Structure 1
Amino acid sequence: GHALGIWHEQSRPERDDYIKVFKHNIKHKYQDQFTKQHRWKVDDFGIPYDYGSVMHYGGLDFSRNDRPTITTNDRNFQATIGQREEPSFADVKQINEAYCKGTGPPLDCKNGGYQGPKDCDVCRCPTGLGGTLCDQV
Structure 2
Amino acid sequence: MVPRDMKYLQTLGSRMISFYEKLMINLHYGCLDRCKEKSSAACQNGGFPHPRDCSKCICPSGYGGRLCNERVEKDPV
TM-score, normalization: structure 2?
Answer: 0.65
Which residue number in structure 2 is paired with residue 82 of structure 1?
A: 12
Letter of the 2:17 partner, please give it. P
Q: For residues 108 and 128 of structure 1, what CA distance do their matches in structure 2 show?
A: 18
CA shift at 1:130, angstroms?
1.7
TM-score, normalization: structure 1?
Answer: 0.41
Equivalent residue runs for 1:13-28 within 5 Å? none
Aligned pairs, number: 67
Which has the greater radius of gyration?
1
Which residue number in structure 2 is paired with residue 43 of structure 1?
A: none
Is 1:109 the counterpart of 2:43 in the alignment?
Answer: yes
CA shift at 1:101, angstroms?
2.0
Cα displacement string for residues 64-94 of structure 1 (whole angstroms, at most 9, x for unaligned residues): xxxxxxxxxxxxxxxxx23342321110111
Letter of the 1:111 partner, please give it. N
Runs of 4+ in 1 over 3 A off after TM superposition: none
Q: For residues 94 and 109 of structure 1, what CA distance do their matches in structure 2 show?
A: 17
- Between structures 1 and 2, the one with greater strand share: 2
Q: Which runs of 5+ in 2 are unaligned?
A: 72-77
What's the % identity of the aligned pairs? Answer: 31
Which residue number in structure 2 is paired with residue 121 of structure 1?
A: 55
Compute the RMSD of aligned alpha carbons. Answer: 2.4
